[in-house]
Structure 1
Amino acid sequence: MPGLDFTLPHWLYWIGLIVFPIVAMSLGRRPKPTERLYSVPLAYMIWITGGIIGLHRLYLRNLWGLLFIPVFLFILIANSQQQDARSLQSDATNQLRMAERVITREEERVTGAEADLPGLRAELETTEEGSFARRSVERRIERAEQGIESGRQKLEQAREEAELARPLVDAATRDRTWWAAAAKYAFYLIVALLVIDAFLLPMLVRRANERLPRGTEVDEFERTAAAAAAATGEARRDDRDLAENWIDRLSLFCGEFVSYWAVIAVFVYYYEVISRYVFNSPTNWAHEAMYLMFGMQYLIAGSYAMLTESHVRVDVFYAPLPRKKKAWVDLFTSVFFFIFAGTLLFTCWTFAMDAIAVPSGNAVVSDWARGQVGFGEALANWNLGQWTDPNIRWGEISFNEWEVPLWPMKWVMVMGAALLVLQGVSKFAKDIRAIARGE
């Protein structure tokens, strides 16, 4: 199988977290078509992301998409067998290498001992019976004979192990080569099918649309929502109806913005799975990139969850209260909220300043964060080289192989804590207004 050797650039990671939600939000706010039809752009997107298992044809309800699945499963099986063969080959090769080393070492030792033995025996003849010198030579002869015997035993054992290991190495090498070739040609088959479908997709989409019944088709989710609204007598309330001031609108925007990061995670983990199990090339950045992203998402979405009352809570006594009494309860508990939110903001600020204060080369911002230069001097010495010079890597970076800068994430934590404090202020003002109006 061909390998994948792609490492996500740091700049592309951060730009993707900003650009993708903006594009997704603009597409999500387009007016919905009056008639539901299959989409050529969506078909191509599925072709790119899931075409390797035929999802683009299954999206169009074309049963030829089932042809991709067994080929893809064969690739997974072939890669698994290839990995097993590689493990066996590695073990057998190590066994053979160790046996060959023993043979080389012991042959030299046995040969040297056998060459020295006649001289020792001649020396023994020249010594006086019962003398210290004679006893010393006898011990040397005894050790030489024992070494020769032990060396011959080790040689015999090592030669047996080498004879057993050689066919294992050959068999494992043949199996690994065969499964690697099988996986490669199966992958080439899928690539050929994908190339063909790349040209056929517009026609396939047109035929799929021709098979659809005319008229607007309401999906199951909309039918369920409409039935629930009819049963309760209440229409589903839009989140935008909750926005009463600029803070609420900011929380709604940030919540919607980071919600699209979950879509990025789908694409990234899909790439990681395909890279790992199809191309045998696991990434060194996918997992770290996503858990950093989800940490930022968790904090940024806090204000949105507070606005929409999506936080988990036990409200057995709170839920039945009228609006005015709820406002009094919220005012009382807001003391604890602001203690928590203020502590969170102060802690995140400390983390963020510590992150950029890590000394890295000639970074002006790091010198400023450590108090070595003033803000005016740092601003005067700031230039484009602070961003582009590879010798300047200011701020904290991760300890993993990807070495992504961590200071942007720490500052996003500050933004999330600040949004939460602002949303608390908005909630506090609403409660005061509710009590004053007697609602």
Structure 2
Amino acid sequence: MPSVDFTLPHWLYWIGLIVFPILAMMLARRAQPEKRTYGLPLGYLILVTGGMLGLHRFYLRSLLGMVYLPVFLLILYANGEERTARNEFSNAINTVRQAERTIERETGRVATAESDLDKLRAAVDDTQDGTALQKRRAERALKRAEKAIATGGDRIAESEAALTQAQPVAKVAGAARAFWNSVARYSFFTILAFLAIDALMLPRLVASARAKADAEPEEPEMEIDEETAARAAELDPSARKADHEYAENWIDRLALFAGEFVSYWAVIAVFVYYYEVIVRYVFNAPTNWAHESMYLMFGMQYLIAGSYAMLTESHVRVDIFYAPLTKPRKAWVDLFTSIFFFIFAGTLLVTSYIFAMDAIAVPTGNSVVSEWARGNLGFFEMFGALTFGNWTDPNVRWGEISFNEWEIPLWPMKWMMVVGGLLLILQGVSKLSKDIRTIARGY
């Protein structure tokens, strides 16, 4: 298979987290056509992201997408067999190398011991008339030499047997590895050829799918009568409540914007994990950044979306006693429990700020920012000491970084904890003012 060696640059990661939600929000707010139909941009998007499975064909209701599936499954099977053969080849080669080193080492030791054997025997004979200590020393030296010869001979015999057994295995495994690698490669090239043909044909395919859709009779939309709608609203008043209906002030609108912004990060995760699956199982090249980038992103999403969840009452709660209460009594309960909320949110904000400043204080290249975070430099002194190279040189980083090969800075994630805590406190203030107003009005 062609090799895939791509590591997501840090700058592209941050730009993607900022730019993608903005573009998605713009697309979501554009005017929608009265009748939904097949779109060429969406067709090309599916071809790029899911074309290896023929999903663009299934999107257009073309059964020719089934042609892609056996080829793709063949790639997965061939890669699995190639990995098995590679492990067998690697183990066999390690055995061969270890056996060859053992034979080379022990052959020299045995030859040296055999060459000294006559001298050691003569030394033992010469000590017959000597002291007992000299005799014991000569006998021990002779025994060591004889043992080295015997042990070395056994090791050489074992290594030769292992070598004889491992060499054919390495040859067979190497041939199997090359074969399955070729199968996977040519299967991949086959899918690429299919995709190239479909990329050229896609405009005509979309036009044909639109014509078929226009020829089909439209299904009548299900209508809900007023009585049913009123009963549903009575059972669950917030069931049909849109997000914008929650906004009563600028804090609420900020929470709605933050929640919508980070919600589109889940779409990024779909693309990233799809890429990870493809490069891992199709190209045998797992990434070192996909998993870390996504769990860091989800951590930031969880914190920033807290105010949105509080505004739209999306948090899980047990409201056996709370639900039957009237609106003013609910406001009294919320007013009392807000004490515990502000203790939690304030603790989150303070500890997050400490964590964020500690993360910046870690010197990893740019000591100017770290010195400011540790309190050794003033803000304006730090700002004046920064140079353009502090921001553009890839060898200069500042703040805490991850310990894996990707080495992404962690301090931005910890500052998002501060942002999340601040949004949560602001939303708590908004909720508190609404409860006080409800109690004052009595409804």
TM-score normalised by structure 1 residue count? 0.94
Conservation of the 8 A alpha-carbon contact between 1:363 and 1:386: no
Greater Cα offset, 259-268 or 80-89: 80-89
Q: Sort the Cα spacing of 1:124 and 1:411 in 2 relative to 1 into closer, same or farther, 3 A.
A: closer
- What amino acid is the match of 2:40? V
Q: Identify which of 397, 404, 413 aligns with 1:400.
A: 404
Residues 301-349 of structure 1: CA distance to partner in whole angstroms, max 9, x if unpaired? Answer: 0010001000000000101111111111111111111111111111111
- What is the DSSP-based 3-state SS (H/G/I as helix, E as strand, rest coil) of the residue aligned with 1:86? helix
Corresponding residue for residue 109 of structure 2: 109
Residues 24-423 of structure 1: pairs in structure 2 closer than 5 A: 24-124=24-124, 126=126, 128=128, 132=132, 133=134, 136-213=137-214, 230=229, 232-234=231-233, 236-423=240-427
Conservation of the 8 A alpha-carbon contact between 1:124 and 1:137: yes
> How far is the alpha carbon of 1:130 from its aligned partner?
7.8
Structure 2 gaps of 5+ residues are: 234-238
- What is the DSSP-based 3-state SS (H/G/I as helix, E as strand, rest coil) of the residue aligned with 1:212? helix
Q: Sort the Cα spacing of 1:291 and 1:223 in 2 relative to 1 into closer, same or farther, 3 A.
A: farther
CA RMSD of aligned residues (A): 2.3
- What amino acid is the match of 1:279? F
Conservation of the 8 A alpha-carbon contact between 1:365 and 1:394: yes
- What is the DSSP-based 3-state SS (H/G/I as helix, E as strand, rest coil) of the residue aligned with 1:2? coil
Residues 222-251 of structure 1: CA distance to partner in whole angstroms, max 9, x if unpaired? Answer: 859999974835482211011111111111
- What amino acid is the match of 2:153? R
Return the alpha-carbon distance in structure 1 between the equivalents of residues 296 and 318 of structure 2.
30
Greater Cα offset, 205-214 or 314-323: 205-214
- What amino acid is the match of 1:294? F
Q: Sort the Cα spacing of 1:385 and 1:227 in 2 relative to 1 into closer, same or farther, 3 A.
A: farther
Return the alpha-carbon distance in structure 2 between the equivalents of residues 42 and 227 of structure 1.
37
Greater Cα offset, 263-272 or 223-232: 223-232
Return the alpha-carbon distance in structure 1 between the equivalents of residues 153 and 66 of structure 2.
62
Conservation of the 8 A alpha-carbon contact between 1:102 and 1:155: yes
Return the alpha-carbon distance in structure 2 between the equivalents of residues 349 and 150 of structure 1.
66
Return the alpha-carbon distance in structure 2 between the equivalents of residues 215 and 25 of structure 1.
32
Q: Sort the Cα spacing of 1:369 and 1:144 in 2 relative to 1 into closer, same or farther, 3 A.
A: closer
Q: Sort the Cα spacing of 1:95 and 1:249 in 2 relative to 1 into closer, same or farther, 3 A.
A: same
- What amino acid is the match of 2:391? W
Return the alpha-carbon distance in structure 2 between the equivalents of residues 45 and 228 of structure 1.
43
Return the alpha-carbon distance in structure 1 between the equivalents of residues 146 and 380 of structure 2.
84
- What amino acid is the match of 1:403? E
Question: Stretches of 4+ moved more than 6 A in 1?
Answer: 224-229
Conservation of the 8 A alpha-carbon contact between 1:43 and 1:56: yes
Residues 389-418 of structure 1: CA distance to partner in whole angstroms, max 9, x if unpaired? Answer: 334312111112111111111111111111
- What is the DSSP-based 3-state SS (H/G/I as helix, E as strand, rest coil) of the residue aligned with 2:205? helix
Return the alpha-carbon distance in structure 1 between the equivalents of residues 320 and 381 of structure 2.
58
> How far is the alpha carbon of 1:381 from its aligned partner?
2.9
- What amino acid is the match of 2:231? T
- What amino acid is the match of 1:159? E
- What amino acid is the match of 1:10? H
Greater Cα offset, 242-251 or 366-375: 366-375
Aligned residues between the structures: 437
TM-score normalised by structure 2 residue count? 0.93
- What amino acid is the match of 2:265? W
Return the alpha-carbon distance in structure 2 between the equivalents of residues 130 and 379 of structure 1.
87
> How far is the alpha carbon of 1:216 from its aligned partner?
9.4
Return the alpha-carbon distance in structure 1 between the equivalents of residues 42 and 258 of structure 2.
26
- What is the DSSP-based 3-state SS (H/G/I as helix, E as strand, rest coil) of the residue aligned with 2:114? helix
> How far is the alpha carbon of 1:91 from its aligned partner?
1.1
> How far is the alpha carbon of 1:154 from its aligned partner?
2.2
- What is the DSSP-based 3-state SS (H/G/I as helix, E as strand, rest coil) of the residue aligned with 2:409? coil
Structure 1 gaps of 5+ residues are: none
Conservation of the 8 A alpha-carbon contact between 1:229 and 1:236: no
- What is the DSSP-based 3-state SS (H/G/I as helix, E as strand, rest coil) of the residue aligned with 1:284? coil
- What is the DSSP-based 3-state SS (H/G/I as helix, E as strand, rest coil) of the residue aligned with 1:270? helix
Greater Cα offset, 90-99 or 323-332: 90-99
> How far is the alpha carbon of 1:65 from its aligned partner?
0.7
> How far is the alpha carbon of 1:193 from its aligned partner?
0.8
Return the alpha-carbon distance in structure 1 between the equivalents of residues 135 and 248 of structure 2.
108
Return the alpha-carbon distance in structure 1 between the equivalents of residues 393 and 224 of structure 2.
55
- What amino acid is the match of 1:407? W
